[in-house]
Structure 1
Amino acid sequence: MPSSPPSDPDEPARVVARLRPLEPRSLGQRSAQIVRAATRLFQDAGFRNVSIEQIGAAVGLTGPAVYRHFPGKHDILSQALTTQVELVATLMADAEEHGRSPVEQLALLLDGLGDLTAHRDVSTLWRREQRHLQPAELDVMRSYFGQLSEHFASLIVAARPDVVPSEAAMLGAAALSVYSNTSEMRGSLSPARLMEVQRAVADSILACRLPGPPEPGPDAERAPAHRRPASRRERILDAATQLFSERGFTDVRIDEIARTADVSIATLYQEVSGKSDLLRAVLWRGVQGILYVTAHALSRAGSDDPLDVLIRVFVEYALDVHGRIMPVFTSDLMYLPDTEKTQLRNAQMDYRAEWIDAIRSRNPLLTAADANALAQSLFGYTCEIIESPQLRSRPGVAAELETIARAILNPAGLRGAPPES
């Protein structure tokens, strides 16, 4: 690992000083209640699937009465996201104030994030619903999150002098993703056990050593090349996958898919019945594809550890062209009918069962719920890499992801769950 330049002990404090609330708004008790209720509804059903009437009903108001507090649903979402950012900024400032060293500040911050996400469970709202912000709001929020990430990375460098800033950015993103993916990790874990798992995984990530960037040469890692499919249906599916992954199912029109696939709208409807039919086909392709390549690799594994095989196949699949389906599954599955959602989730559970079995084979003291949380943590972080041009384009990102995957799935500090009383 390359040596690090001397860290600046004052950098974390300078970053915290720049964390300012976004156009702070003093909320009355009822307005704050509306924001909390809407946050839960957006988290569970998605912004587009929640009406003003449902938000009002959650707090004992009619839909029109909600408009006395907020101009519209979009303004409630903006306030909900701003509130979340401010909560994290407060945790960082508190850790900076009360921690006597960078190591202690990191520990206080991780404990605070664990308590916040394990008990309030609003972790996926920013990841999934940011697309509904206005461009100017999105720019401001991304800048603010960038400052939070910068502060976290600076704490890592201060706590681990052997880590350079570029490595700290990757490790910091991985550790923070543990908390942004809480809702997927939770399963049947109690809040206390969930916090134990979160902290053990975050500590394991922050302690791991990333491989150095690859040497330039003919064998250097290259981004997957996009190949234009030959058949008409494949071009349509490819176009839908790309547009859904970039902008989300609800913000893509059928004529845009047809134009991207270089077919007429009439021709598109000869292949599929509509946009929901395309989403269904895209998601089934993703689930069935990873199931097939995984089963094939495990059948040929021989004496290889199953968990190592799973990691290797998963990283290759996720960073290749079909990996873009993963964020679509996370964000847009909710727009399919309940029966189809159940079928897709069951197929996804079949895939996850391989991970749970492999993780418990290596650490038999863990419960199935523990192992599920570890696997979900890896899946969530991988989705963040796929969606982040900065992370996805890092030299040697595949080797880095494999290293972080092993840290996530086998955290040294995670003991078996205590027996139920």
Structure 2
Amino acid sequence: MVVRRPPGRRAQILAVAADRFHRSGYHQVSMTEVAAGVGITAPALYRHFRGKPELLDRAVRLGLDALADGLRTADSTDALAAALAAVAVGHRPLGTLVQRDARLLAPARRASLRRELRADTALMAAVLRAERPELPDRDAELLCWSALSACAGLSYQSAAPQPRRAEAVLRELVAAVLAVSLDGTDLCSLPADGLGEAGGEMPVTPGPRPQARREELLVAAVRLFHERGFDNVSTDQLGAAVGITGPSVYRHFDSKAQLLAASLVRSRERLWHEVDGAISAADGPAAALEAGLAAYVGFARRNGDYLGAMLSETERLAPSDRRVAVDFRRDFLRTWVGLLRLVRPECDAVEARIRVHALFALVNDGVRNRPHSARPDLGDCLLRLGRAVLGVS
């Protein structure tokens, strides 16, 4: 007797895998869990896919294919906004899969995905420049990358908003991003000493040698975990980054996991101190929102490695540390949502959350997306784009 597989089984598997990877992180999901989500056995799952790497690869490709299909038929900026919004809602896990998990794929596959995204951006930029021929190529490309990033912010919401509402808000904010003028940006609008190249680190305060070494390890850990992933960084590599042997790392931290947790805690403390301090010192909600935006952009440009590690490695924390990190994100988000609603009373909580998530995704990507991250006017560009996303430009 021939046993027929249910139609669409591969698509069903990919949908479940994408959702599980999105919610829990690639490393926390097993093939058995994916199989159970589909209602089949693990051996049956292996008849469709050879392993988790292929599942991740195919799940990312499914979303990117939908994006490319939508963009190919877009002949105006309104159509671009509609296409991006539809993919963001219809393939909600795609943002986290691309920004967080795709780096775990083989180098050749990562390069291929990057080429596909560049091709998508080129399609968008061609449409944008047809409507705005005065735009330099680099500005058109930055606006398009920023629109993609803003839509990816929907992936980071803990609860999915009503699809039609989400699409409407995303269409509006994408249109606003694509309409931003980057011409005449002020290269000195933000302090040069506070806005180094993306991925730069905060200077280490001199002190007693053991304490300084601990601080150096925290900085090096954030950079290495961001660049290579927690599992791909050894204690020997961590030690070599600060001029000590691998075993010497354990004089400062009991384990690599403890070092990861401490490095993320230290960066969170800096983020809260800088941004909340700027918001608290401002006079009135509008000034506070502007000050908070400038502070967040400044922090992001100095601490791109932390933002990358926060996105990619939080799931590698011990459960108790992970809960603390998630609680911090919620509190931070709540502050911004409340502030935006004070500035824009017509904006309800659903729209405010979509816009704030879009802001963070846009800035976090912007400081790490070369070659645009090397622009000397990046700080001012991100301020303009951030205002557009929040709807306060």
Give TM class, smaller chain.
0.7 to 0.9
**Equivalent in the alignment of 2:365:** 384
1:167-206 paired onto structure 2 within 5 Å: 167-185=139-157, 187=159, 189-206=161-178
AA aligned to 2:389 is I
**Equivalent in the alignment of 1:111:** 82
**Equivalent in the alignment of 2:209:** none
- Using the TM superposition, name which of 253-262 and 237-246 deviates more: 253-262
Q: Deviations along 1:233-282, whole A, 9 cap, x unmatched?
A: 01111110110121222322222111112122232111112121112112
Matched, 1:93 2:38: no
Find the aligned partners of 2:29 and 2:256 in 1 and give their Cα distance: 20
Matched, 1:81 2:60: yes
Q: Is the 8 A contact 2:281 2:288 kept in 1?
A: no
Aligned equivalent of 1:270, options 228, 251, 254: 251
Q: Is the 8 A contact 1:186 1:373 kept in 2?
A: no
1:295, CA displacement in angstroms?
Answer: 3.1
Runs of 4+ in structure 1 displaced over 6 angstroms? 219-222
AA aligned to 2:32 is E
AA aligned to 1:309 is A
Find the aligned partners of 2:360 and 2:53 in 1 and give their Cα distance: 29
**Equivalent in the alignment of 2:312:** 331
Find the aligned partners of 2:22 and 2:139 in 1 and give their Cα distance: 31
Q: Is the 8 A contact 2:20 2:34 kept in 1?
A: yes
**Equivalent in the alignment of 1:159:** 131
Q: Is the 8 A contact 2:280 2:288 kept in 1?
A: no
Q: Is the 8 A contact 2:80 2:124 kept in 1?
A: no
Q: Gaps spanning 5+ residues in structure 2: where?
A: 1-5, 207-211
Q: Percent identity?
A: 26
AA aligned to 1:240 is A
AA aligned to 1:56 is A
Given the two structures, how large is their TM-score scaled by the length of structure 1? 0.82
1:343, CA displacement in angstroms?
Answer: 1.8
1:278-317 paired onto structure 2 within 5 Å: 278-302=259-283, 305-317=287-299
Relative to structure 1, the CA distance from residue 125 to residue 299 in structure 2 (aligned partners, 3 Å threshold; closer, same or farther) is: closer
**SS of the residue 1:387 aligns to:** coil
Matched, 1:137 2:118: no
**Equivalent in the alignment of 2:14:** 35
Q: Deviations along 1:84-143, whole A, 9 cap, x unmatched?
A: 221111112233xxxxxx42xx32332233223224422221111111211111222211
1:162, CA displacement in angstroms?
Answer: 2.6
Given the two structures, how large is their TM-score scaled by the length of structure 2? 0.88
Relative to structure 1, the CA distance from residue 78 to residue 323 in structure 2 (aligned partners, 3 Å threshold; closer, same or farther) is: closer
Q: Is the 8 A contact 2:236 2:247 kept in 1?
A: no
Q: Is the 8 A contact 1:229 1:235 kept in 2?
A: no
Relative to structure 1, the CA distance from residue 215 to residue 196 in structure 2 (aligned partners, 3 Å threshold; closer, same or farther) is: closer
**Equivalent in the alignment of 2:45:** 66
AA aligned to 1:66 is L
Relative to structure 1, the CA distance from residue 347 to residue 267 in structure 2 (aligned partners, 3 Å threshold; closer, same or farther) is: same
AA aligned to 1:121 is R
Aligned equivalent of 2:354, options 373, 388, 410: 373
1:214-293 paired onto structure 2 within 5 Å: 223-224=196-197, 227=203, 230=206, 231-293=212-274
1:42, CA displacement in angstroms?
Answer: 1.2
**Equivalent in the alignment of 2:383:** 402
